[in-house]
Amino acid sequence: MARTACRTRGRPSHEGGCAIDPLTIAAAVASVRTLVKSARGVQEIVHGLDGVFHAQDEHEKNKSHKPGSSIGQKNKSILQKRAKDDGGDESISAAAASVIESKQLQTQLDDLKTEINSKWPSKPGEKSTWDQILAEREKRIAEKKERAKQEKLDAEERAERRKAILIEVAKGLAVAVVAGGIAWFLWWAATHGPAVR
């Protein structure tokens, strides 16, 4: 879901990835909030949360992008007129638009956090449901990275083993060819060589 949203609403960033339009994040948050209101369990909102987190991660990676939404563009335009600057990347209007956009996104995420925590309250002394979700997500991301790292090490180890086996096979073939050549020469010498005549 998040990758589809990235392809359809995102814009190419300077880094070659997908700069997530804040409207994409807002839409993902809105859909999860709707699911939270109607859901009976967290499982029903997992995909929506995944989309929100993916969109947020992409937005964080591409913070240097220009305001993505039409609202962000409008805010920047208004700020540019009031600040009387050129609207370049280093201008006050660009900086202000970026900060405002970031705060709007954080407000939407905070609202989602509040809704989830009120729908599924935690016992006193426990982490909030939102914090548990974030902790579980971080744990899974770390496990995925560890699996990828281990798979890479295993693949390198298999490649080294294959290389060692191929070297040994090549050595064996070389020995067999040399031994076959010696045997043929001895047979030839014994049957057709100068000593036989």
Q: Do 100 and 43 touch, CB atoms closer than 8 A?
A: no
Q: Are residues 182 and 154 in the same domain?
A: yes
- Domain annotation covers residue 139: yes
Whether the per-residue pLDDT at 20 is higher than 60: the answer is no
Taking CA atoms, 115 is separated from 112, 134, 155, 191, 194, in Å, by 5, 15, 45, 97, 101
Q: Are residues 82 and 154 in the same domain?
A: no
Query: Which residue among 120, 140, 164 closes a domain?
Result: 120
- Domain annotation covers residue 125: no
Angle between helices 129-192 and 92-119 (to 10 degrees): 100
> Which of 26-35, 109-118, 153-162 is predicted most confidently?
153-162
Please write the tens of the pLDDT for every residue from 134-192: 898 899 999 999 999 999 999 999 999 999 999 999 999 999 999 999 999 999 888 88
Q: Are residues 8 and 38 in the same domain?
A: yes
Please write the tens of the pLDDT for every residue from 48-63: 777 777 777 776 766 5
Q: Are residues 7 and 103 in the same domain?
A: yes
Q: Are residues 109 and 188 in the same domain?
A: no
- Domain annotation covers residue 14: yes
Give the list of residues 6+ apart from residue 96 with CB closer than 8 angstroms, or none. Answer: 75, 76, 79, 83
Per-residue pLDDT band for 3 (boundaries 50, 70, 90) equals very low
Q: From the centroid of its chain, how far is CA 157? A: 25
The conformation of residue 11, written as its DSSP 8-state character, comes to E
- Domain annotation covers residue 126: no
pTM of the model: 0.54
Query: Which residue among 70, 93, 120 closes a domain?
Result: 120
Owning domain of residue 10: 2-120
Domains identified in the chain, total number: 2
Q: What are the tokens at 154? A: 């295993």
Strand partners, 11: 19
